[in-house]
Structure 1
Amino acid sequence: MARKILTPWKTLTPRKTLIPGALLGATALVLAGCASTPTDATDDGAVQVVASTSVYGDIVRAIAGDAVGVTSIISSTSQDPHSYEASASDQLTVSRADLIIENGGGYDVFIDGLIDASGSTAHVITAAEYSHDWPDNEGHDHAEGDDQGDDHADDTATEDAAADDHDHAGHDHIEGFNEHVWYDPHTVEHVAEAIAEELTELVPGEKATFDSGLADFVAGIGDLETSLADVAAAHEGDKIFVTEPVPLYLTAAAGLENVTPEAFSEAVEEGQDVPPATLLEATRLLDAGDVRAVIVNAQTGGAETTQVIQTAEAAGIPVVEFSEILPDGQSYLTWMAQNIDDLEAALAS
């Protein structure tokens, strides 16, 4: 299978740092000059689910089908959730939501601002809180023999705490926590279970639909985990270099070793210059010949990322693109399967 190669001349959007306090406010929203166009907004009386990005919007659709309306605030790979500027249209969308799905962990804080500005009292599912890496999270284990995870006392406690703590304290970036949790199929399975449970509360008459959709989705997650185990069996311990920590949950599940200098990926993610000594260290790593693949963020980059790409290509190291937003024409499951296939092809080359 052909893998996607990012060429050095491809235009990348520099990562912007979100400026607290400048994001929202009712006046700023009303005066916003460029309103976004959220996807699939409906006004037909159906239960409305609002997702911060199309990643989570697609998961809702996989579970619910047409039983609820789904709106994704960000649905284009040209938009960066870290620096997204919400609009008056977004605030209106959130104000009408019956259920809100956000990533959390400091990734999509624009949603928290929209919730506060709109006065929404909708239940909020925060995906990051279902990660085993989330601070103080000791729950989220599946009950033995329970394929759909109906018996999640710890999960329910986490959801209740999130609902009670409606000011979203703790949703700022957490030092040392990788907020890109949608690249962790195990976490996404828990999020899907929480979505199905909440949808059943909102639309009890569609329980059979939600149960069926969840079962199919969880089966798809199982297929992803099987594929990752296959990669791990063939490539356990292979070294990779990532310009940003976006795919690290997936690569860890594939048994790969990330050798990127931490200062490099942190600087790129924060939109800062990579220290010269760190850039030199990265170049030496790539020249040494031990790195099997370089993974870059298809949506963001800069001069240092371009230099890494050029160095990798000169050394014959495959360069693979991973994105943060669901590509057009893909579902969450097909997107993750393609990412795993691209990664395996790079490692096998």
Structure 2
Amino acid sequence: MNKFKKMSIFLIISSVLLILTGCSGKTNNPKKSINVTTSLNFYGEVAKDVLGNHGSVTSIINSPNVDPHDFEPKSSDARNVSKTNIMVSNGLGYDSWAENLTSNNKNIKNINVGQLMDKASGDNPHIWYNIDTMKKLAYELADQFGKLQPQNKKAFEQNAKNYVSKLQPVENKINSIKKHKINKPVAVSEPVFDYSLDKLGYSIANKNFEEAIEKGNDPAPADIRQLQNDIKNHKLAFFVVNKQVNSKIVTNLANLAKENNLPIVYVTETKPENMDNYIKWMDSQYDQVLKIQKNNGLK
């Protein structure tokens, strides 16, 4: 989309927000229901668990077929956001459109998850692949909800603890994988799964390659050759492929991996429709790594 069309959309949304927020500049009433909006559905899951029956949560992106990078909100999204108390966005340039939706409304509390995790512009934005992100978000939401409804502060804090407890089996699996990891680096198609790999104790064979694919560029021939040689010479533990991205270069490398019996871990950037929740989504991907390690003779 050209810059003039994008500017017109932004102006429409800004106008809607100005009209609506001008009519609703009231302070938060602790007896009122809390309205939360999240840019991404898996952040919405955390918000629902922590909020309980004390309000409502709306996630703008619910489909795995929508690319958050290129998403453009509708005027209806702007109207809905104008009624919210708390907006949760990923930040780090991943969903700038979400931040724009609240830029004219000072009554909305913005939770930027990237900033919450002490990340800065230019850092890998796929921070939900670090399980600590979801824990920290749960406790931050409990704190913010408690400010809006002090009478329910203890309930929010307990709900956050309960959510973190539900993450424990996944964390146990991560620790088990790390304890028995294969002592080889991994090939990565792009940096979607990198925070998880770091948690699992694996290093990345060629970061130049993944960064080029992430930016939509062709990797340098030398980087392609390096990965080809690493695959052929069995220098890698496995190959992580984001199956939502169509790249002939990655497809060719994946085929080469299969020919040379290098296992492939398939990951996704957005939560698949067949996954009920974030926990099952993460668990299914860690199970792939665990299976590879078991097949490699590690118990």
TM class by shorter chain equals 0.7 to 0.9
> CA offsets, 1:161-211, max 9 Å, x none?
xxxxxxxxxxxx42xx21111111123211211011111112233334322
Q: Following superposition, which runs of at least 4 residues in structure 1 exceed 4 angstroms of deviation?
A: 18-21
Q: 1:128 aligns with which of 100, 104, 114?
A: 114
Change (3 A) 1:236 1:312: closer
Letter in 2 for 1:22: K
Using the alignment, how far apart are the partners of 1:52 and 1:216 within structure 2?
Answer: 23
Unaligned runs of 5+ in 2: 16-31
Other structure's SS at 1:300 match: coil
Q: CA deviation at 1:296?
A: 1.5
Instruction: Check conservation: 1:94, 1:120, Cα contact below 8 A.
Output: no
Instruction: Check conservation: 1:326, 1:332, Cα contact below 8 A.
Output: yes
Q: Does 1:228 align with 2:174?
A: yes
After TM superposition, the structure 1 = structure 2 runs for residues 248-287 of structure 1, keeping only pairs within 5 Å, are 248-259=194-205, 261-287=206-232
Q: Does 1:70 align with 2:15?
A: no
> CA offsets, 1:85-135, max 9 Å, x none?
22112211221111001111111111122223x545311111112325x25
Change (3 A) 1:59 1:28: closer
Q: Does 1:54 align with 2:41?
A: yes
Letter in 2 for 1:288: N
Other structure's SS at 1:22 match: helix
Q: Equivalent residue for 1:293?
A: 238
Letter in 2 for 1:180: H
Q: Equivalent residue for 1:100?
A: 87
Using the alignment, how far apart are the partners of 2:250 and 2:107 within structure 1?
Answer: 42
Q: Equivalent residue for 1:25?
A: 10
Q: Equivalent residue for 1:213?
A: 159
Letter in 1 for 2:235: D
Change (3 A) 1:347 1:238: farther
Q: 1:311 aligns with which of 253, 256, 262?
A: 256
Q: CA RMSD in A?
A: 2.6
Letter in 2 for 1:326: K
Query: Which one has the largest radius of gyration?
Result: 2
Letter in 2 for 1:339: Q
Change (3 A) 1:334 1:82: same
Q: CA deviation at 1:29?
A: 8.6
Q: 2:278 aligns with which of 310, 321, 332?
A: 332
Q: CA deviation at 1:57?
A: 0.5
TM-score (ref. length: structure 2): 0.84
Other structure's SS at 1:188 match: helix
What is the percentage of aligned positions where both structures have the same residue?
24
Higher RCO (Cα < 8 Å, 6 or more apart): 1
Aligned length, in residue pairs: 278
Other structure's SS at 1:257 match: coil
Letter in 2 for 1:54: N
Change (3 A) 1:19 1:312: farther
Q: Equivalent residue for 1:159?
A: none
Using the alignment, how far apart are the partners of 1:20 and 1:193 within structure 2?
Answer: 40
Q: Equivalent residue for 1:202?
A: 148
Instruction: Check conservation: 1:55, 1:332, Cα contact below 8 A.
Output: yes
Letter in 2 for 1:52: S
Using the alignment, how far apart are the partners of 2:153 and 2:284 within structure 1?
Answer: 31
TM-score (ref. length: structure 1): 0.73
Instruction: Check conservation: 2:38, 2:60, Cα contact below 8 A.
Output: yes
Change (3 A) 1:19 1:197: farther
Using the alignment, how far apart are the partners of 1:68 and 1:185 within structure 2?
Answer: 25
Change (3 A) 1:70 1:20: farther
Using the alignment, how far apart are the partners of 1:238 and 1:20 within structure 2?
Answer: 49
Change (3 A) 1:291 1:86: same
Other structure's SS at 2:59 match: strand
Other structure's SS at 2:6 match: coil
Instruction: Check conservation: 1:127, 1:188, Cα contact below 8 A.
Output: no
Other structure's SS at 1:49 match: strand
Letter in 2 for 1:191: L
Other structure's SS at 1:129 match: helix
Q: CA deviation at 1:28?
A: 7.3
Change (3 A) 1:124 1:264: same
After TM superposition, the structure 1 = structure 2 runs for residues 163-202 of structure 1, keeping only pairs within 5 Å, are 173-174=121-122, 177-202=123-148
Q: CA deviation at 1:276?
A: 2.5
